[in-house]
C-alpha cells in the first residue's frame, strides 16, 4: 500500500443541462483524449434516445440502471502467509456507483453497432430492466464473493 498521503476527494460539479452529478460522472467515464464536448454530446444523445424509446424521464432510468448494476460485495486479493486469498468485502456506496458506471460504459463500448450514443442508450435501458452485460458482471462479482465466503474472516 502507498505510504503517501491519501488523495483528496474532488467535488464533482453537476452537468449543465440535467444538473445531475451522475451524468457528469458518466461524462468522465466516456471521455477520451480530453474531448469533453464530444463525450457530452454522446451522453445527451443517448439520454434523448432513452426518452424517445421509453416514456419515462431518462435521468430516472439512468439512476435505476446504476442502482441495478451497483454491486454489494466484491472480492479483493489479500496476501496471507505466502498465499493469496480472494477475500469478499462490502462495497462502499461511492465505489459501487463508480463500478456500475465503469461497467455500463465498458459494455456499451463492446456492443455491436456504430453509434456510441445508441449503444450507451441500449446498455442503460437493459441495465434498468435488469438484463444486459453489466448486470451479468454484477452477478458474477456476487457469485465470486459467495464462493469465497470461507475467507471472510481475513477482512480488516
105-114 per-position pLDDT tens digit: 999 999 998 8
pLDDT above 90: percentage of residues in the chain: 72
pLDDT class for 1, splitting at 50, 70, 90? low
How confident is the model at residue 80, as a pLDDT? Answer: 86
- Enumerate residues 6+ apart whose C-beta is below 8 A from 89: 73, 74, 75, 76, 155
Across 5-22, average pLDDT: 88
Q: Would you give the DSSP letter of residue 10? A: P
CATH match for 21-71+93-142 among 3.40.50.1820, 2.40.30.40, 1.10.455.10, 1.20.1260.10: 1.10.455.10
How far apart CA 47 and CA 16 sit, in angstroms, is 14
Amino acid at each position: 500500500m502507498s505510504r503517501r498521503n491519501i488523495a483528496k476527494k474532488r467535488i464533482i460539479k453537476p452537468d449543465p443541462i440535467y444538473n445531475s452529478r451522475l451524468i457528469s460522472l458518466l461524462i468522465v467515464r466516456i471521455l477520451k483524449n480530453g474531448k469533453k464536448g464530444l463525450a457530452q454530446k454522446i451522453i445527451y444523445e443517448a439520454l434523448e434516445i432513452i426518452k424517445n424509446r421509453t416514456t419515462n424521464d431518462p435521468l430516472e432510468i439512468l439512476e435505476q440502471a446504476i442502482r441495478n448494476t451497483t454491486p454489494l460485495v466484491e472480492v479483493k486479493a489479500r496476501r496471507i502467509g505466502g498465499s493469496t486469498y480472494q477475500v469478499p468485502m462490502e462495497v462502499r456506496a461511492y465505489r459501487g456507483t463508480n463500478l456500475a458506471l465503469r461497467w455500463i460504459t465498458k459494455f456499451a463500448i463492446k456492443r455491436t453497432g456504430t453509434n456510441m450514443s445508441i449503444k450507451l442508450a441500449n446498455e442503460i435501458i437493459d441495465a434498468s430492466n435488469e438484463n444486459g452485460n453489466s448486470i451479468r458482471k454484477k452477478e458474477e462479482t456476487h457469485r465470486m464473493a459467495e464462493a469465497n465466503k470461507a475467507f471472510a474472516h481475513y477482512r480488516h
